[in-house]
């Protein structure tokens, strides 16, 4: 049954509203799941209505794509570990970019054969192909870094910015030639240069900046979808793509503010992985640090009034969130006030720690963002850091020579006593030694975060 254009427009409007409501609900952990339902419903409506339009006459490939893609997506969703979600998100962004590029090339070949190319359409095809190709290759590089298929540290070479400038100018020059000649060869070269440009844009980005890059690539994927919407004349795709593009850009800005850096500084001045483990070990031996036993930490925490837990990527790697929840429950049973402090760039993607804590069913009202919780560290008896490194490093405030100087951090060092769960003295993702380790009120507990937290829980269980 084919739908009229007016009916299609009405359903598209409803789908767009559902997507907007979904984005709004995703801004808060307590409503994020509801936001996903809204967005899913909106996309189901959009796809269903699109398939009922008059232009769609054959459904074989469409149904096959939905079935195969649905099966693959479901299997991935069921098997994926929470630690691998950031790289999965980056990989999915690459699919959006690839789709936008292929659509641009496909539409060009179709319209060129029918002699229906115009300057406006050529501009749309150029923009869609360039943004899509950059998103595709840049997202693959981000995936490779997050998956440890490439070094997480910045990969830079002499004259890199000049090369990027040359590639950017080449894209505009070839774009002008493409608009004048409608040449398929020019379009193919444009796509190739954009792919290379995307690679060179992301390889200099260091590990600490990955949350910003993931949100930036999310924005790119939105603009790629919007450009595809113009090419296909699909108003809903334009609207949804613009929403994703703007929301990703706003999130990137928020993340940059959390690091006290600009997006241009992140893209052009990535850092991370500069310190070798040998240098760090030498520094550690020279300065000295204190270690503590699990029994010491459990005794002090159960006799405390206020405990603030700071989760980090180490918790994600160890899959310790459930053990952390059990620890919270034992402490609360003894009358301890327990709260969680989240840094905006903790983990490998925006909201990574919030997702992990929600997975363990830790109440949303116990999870606080940095700006809210920072003032409470000075009143806290214990701060328990579970694998968070760079976001707790006082060097960001005290050491002007540090690469992370100026980045807002969680004021863990202000707590009466800090226990830091850590596998070794190796630095965090940025490669910067954590000055917190050498403070008088900090003690390190070495080991796997999950094992340590489970031992703490066992201590309380035996004492009960």
Could you give the angle at the alpha carbon of 295 between the alpha carbons of 293 and 298, nearest 5°?
A: 115
Question: Is residue 403 classed as helix, strand or coil in its secondary structure?
Answer: coil
Cα distances from 194 to residues 58, 109, 217, 404, in angstroms, run 33, 19, 14, 31
Burial of 360-386, coded b for 16+ CB within 10 Å and e otherwise, reads: bebeeeebeebeebbebbeebbbbbbb
451 flagged as catalytic: no
Cα distances from 266 to residues 75, 207, 314, in angstroms, run 35, 11, 23
The separation between CA 36 and the C-alpha centre of its own chain, rounded to angstroms, equals 17
Could you give the angle at the alpha carbon of 153 between the alpha carbons of 148 and 155, nearest 5°?
A: 105
Instruction: Give the residue carrying structure tokens 């074989």.
Output: 60
Tokens, residue 464: 């009960």
Q: What is the DSSP letter of 341?
A: E
Rounded to an integer, what distance in angstroms lies between the CA atom of residue 396 and that of residue 385? 17
Rounded to an integer, what distance in angstroms lies between the CA atom of residue 284 and that of residue 241? 49
Rounded to an integer, what distance in angstroms lies between the CA atom of residue 375 and that of residue 72? 46
- Which residues are paired to 342 by β-bridges? 369
CB 354 within 8 A of CB 342: yes
* Catalytic, out of 390, 399, 411, 451: 390
Residues involved in catalysis: 390
């Amino acid at each position: 049954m084919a739908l009229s254009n007016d009916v299609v427009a009405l359903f598209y409007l409803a789908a767009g509203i559902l997507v907007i409501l979904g984005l709004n609900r995703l801004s808060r952990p307590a409503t994020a799941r509801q936001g996903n339902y809204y967005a899913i419903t909106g996309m189901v409506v959009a796809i269903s209505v699109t398939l009922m339009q008059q232009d769609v006459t054959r459904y074989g490939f469409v149904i096959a794509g939905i079935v195969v893609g649905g099966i693959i997506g479901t299997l991935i969703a069921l098997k994926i570990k929470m630690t691998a979600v950031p790289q999965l998100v980056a990989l999915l962004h690459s699919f959006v970019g690839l789709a936008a590029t292929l659509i641009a090339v496909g539409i060009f070949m179709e319209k060129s054969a029918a002699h229906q190319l115009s300057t406006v359409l050529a501009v749309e095809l150029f923009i869609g192909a360039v943004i899509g190709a950059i998103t595709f290759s840049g997202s693959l590089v981000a995936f490779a870094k997050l998956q440890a298929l490439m070094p997480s540290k910045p990969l830079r070479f002499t004259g890199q910015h000049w090369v990027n400038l040359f590639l950017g100018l080449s894209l505009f020059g070839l774009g002008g030639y493409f608009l004048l000649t409608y040449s398929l060869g020019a379009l193919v070269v444009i796509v190739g240069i954009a792919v290379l440009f995307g690679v060179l844009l992301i390889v200099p980005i260091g590990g600490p900046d990955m949350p910003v890059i993931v949100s930036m690539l999310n924005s790119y994927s939105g603009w790629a979808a919007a450009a595809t919407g113009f090419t296909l004349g699909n108003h809903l795709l334009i609207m949804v793509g613009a929403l994703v593009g703007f929301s990703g850009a706003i999130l990137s800005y928020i993340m940059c503010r959390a690091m006290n850096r600009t997006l241009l500084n992140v893209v052009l001045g990535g850092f991370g992985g500069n310190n070798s483990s040998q240098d760090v070990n030498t520094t550690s031996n020279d300065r000295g640090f204190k270690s503590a036993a699990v029994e010491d930490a459990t005794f002090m925490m159960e006799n405390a009034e206020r405990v603030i837990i700071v989760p980090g990527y180490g918790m994600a790697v160890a899959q310790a969130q459930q053990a952390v929840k059990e620890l919270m429950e034992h402490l609360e049973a003894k009358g301890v006030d327990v709260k969680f402090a989240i840094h905006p760039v903790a983990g490998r993607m925006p909201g990574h720690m919030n997702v992990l804590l929600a997975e363990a069913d830790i109440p949303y009202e116990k999870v606080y963002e940095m700006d809210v919780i920072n003032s409470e560290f000075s009143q806290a008896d214990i701060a328990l850091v579970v694998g968070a490194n760079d976001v707790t490093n006082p060097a960001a405030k005290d050491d002007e020579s540090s690469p992370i100087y100026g980045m807002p951090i969680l004021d863990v060092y202000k707590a009466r006593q800090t226990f830091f769960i850590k596998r070794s003295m190796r630095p965090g993702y940025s490669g910067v030694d954590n000055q917190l380790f050498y403070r008088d009120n900090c003690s390190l507990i070495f080991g796997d975060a999950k094992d340590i937290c489970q031992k703490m829980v066992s201590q309380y269980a035996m004492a009960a």
